[in-house]
Structure 1
């Protein structure tokens, strides 16, 4: 599969949406949140679609796990909220799957397609700064994936999800770990200078830059703990799994997942450059960190993977 074929028909909303974008070190970024330094451009839309297709394979062709149909069955208005929708692929698919439900996707930048199902809309909001502008108990199902790196106060974010969900509503959280794995062992178990050194160094640098912005990089592995701390959810269910990176798996399903994750990371690595430079890393060093990680991605000496943390839960009825 070529990434050149992905998201080829994506166009930005509005005749002139330039006010929502800024150029930083050669990449287009959002203007709503100056601290969120991943791009908002065509390559990032491609990466958003790759991540979406990968999760569809993980979920065996579906867009979710958990009792989603049950949650929507008992909702009066059947409303679905996608937080950090990115390219909008999940929201669009859910609108197609549930044509009687209203689906809303929220993101920092208008990088979603113009042509969408009639029951799907996209809106702009900085989830890290403002309250999410919907009434209490408004949604039946809330979905959020791969967005903790843009949320400084994740417990507050979960309280906001609690406010927005109706009693009995469902939340699904998906966050990849920021600690890479090689040959089944996390980077933290390898002595310094061993393993996929370039790959490990990139992720260590990324975590360090996030921490300087006040981001808790341990959120993915603590999703259950954080959800439980709200005292608002029951039936908290975990479905974690290791996602291969690259072309080393032997079975066809895992190989496809590994290829999609590899293509995701191929776009992700250069996308980190504006963040590294804005964090004070000299350009030559940032380029070397990325180049060394690319070498390990293209020519790995170990079998790399990443852990995906998946949690869903229902809001208490009382």
Structure 2
């Protein structure tokens, strides 16, 4: 609970070897909850895409944030033991009786969970938190039961459009978002001496290849467009765009403040000015911005023995 503070925003404790740039305060929590609703609507009111057992016994949510996904899953499966882990205790106290939260760092190997423990392991929006994605997926494979499933959902940081209202090199704050984000991440990683945490997993095909190297089979990859404004004529896509923009506006300062100040050397005023341009462009009815979101799920083979698990 000994949080760090930067320009009024709180960040996880400096204790241990964790160094993460996203805040853990109420404003960022609101953004996470808005994002949860956005993704739920985007994926047709489904909490997950993997074809898991209709009666899972034990499920893990890695990097659970505010715990909203874990709470909804525990409500939907009251006979299932659900565990949510995160580096900050930002989850609510009133939760379903079959759910518990634990403070844990998923980047430390090996995990404290025993091999072959979970029927389903869920990980979402961990971009910028993981340096070694292969190690993460190897631990998910190890902790998953034979026949069990793992699922990862990550966004692209590149904002684009199909009608060129947002395009590379157009000088807009929207098109600059990914490039500034990536530059700040690299420079901060270099200054810290630990190297950057990859942000462009979709562009590098990190999730699919990582699942394959970990040993998962029956892997499915689905990539969808997530609008960041309510410009679509389809009512459901308009709702996604409305909540997607709300989540972006609520969370954008938290996404960039730490990295832009520590990595790019920007002042708080420079960050505020850039974000005002970004907010104005998100509300420009002439622009149709979206990002790509990728969901990958895979099954652990039934014939894997405990002795074979890495």
Q: Tell me the TM-score normalized by structure 1.
A: 0.85
Q: Is the CA contact 2:74–2:82 (under 8 Å) kept in the aligned structure 1?
A: yes
Name segments (4+ residues, structure 1) moved above 6 Å: none
Once the two structures are superposed, what CA deviation does each residue of 1:168-227 show, in whole Å capped at 9, x if it has no partner?
11001100111111236697xx45235xx1112122111222234221223234121221
Indicate the residue corresponding to 2:184 in structure 1: 209
| 1:200 and 2:200 matched | no
The match for 1:303 is: 288
Give me the whole-angstrom Cα distance separating, in 1, the residues matched to 2:141 and 2:103.
20
Aligned twin of 1:3: none
Moved more, 202-211 or 44-53: 202-211
Partners of 1:198 and 1:295 within 8 A in 2: no
How big is the shift at 1:291?
Answer: 2.3
- Quote how far apart the aligned CAs of 1:141 are: 0.2
Aligned pairs (5 A) from 1:58-137: 58-70=42-54, 72=55, 78-137=57-116
- TM superposition shift of 1:263: 0.4
Structure 1 residues 249-264: aligned runs within 5 Å: 249-264=232-247
What residue in structure 2 maps to residue 239 of structure 1? 222
Contact 2:4 2:10 in 1 (8 A): yes
Alignment-derived partner of residue 29 in structure 1: 11
**Partner secondary structure for residue 243 of structure 1:** strand
Q: Distance in 1 between matches of 2:289 and 2:85?
A: 32
- The DSSP-based 3-state class of the residue aligned with 1:39 is coil
Q: Is the 8 A contact 1:179 1:186 kept in 2?
A: no
In the TM superposition, 1:285-296 aligns within 5 A as: 285-296=270-281
Deviation at 1:43, TM superposition (A): 1.1
Q: Distance in 1 between matches of 2:292 and 2:92?
A: 30
CA 233–251 in structure 1, closer or farther in 2 if over 3 Å, else same: same
The equivalent of 2:260 in structure 1 is: 276
Q: How many pairs does the alignment contain?
A: 290
Corresponding residue for residue 177 of structure 1: 156
Residue 316 of structure 1, CA deviation: 1.2
Q: Give unpaired runs (5+ residues) of structure 2.
A: 190-195, 304-310
Structure 1 vs Structure 2 CA RMSD: 1.9
Question: Given the superposition, is the C-alpha separation of residues 157 and 120 from structure 1 closer, same or farther in structure 2, using an over 3 Å criterion?
Answer: same
Q: Please give the TM-score of this superposition, normalised by the length of structure 2.
A: 0.88
Change (3 A) 1:130 1:242: same
TM-superposed CA distance for 1:131, in Å, is: 3.5
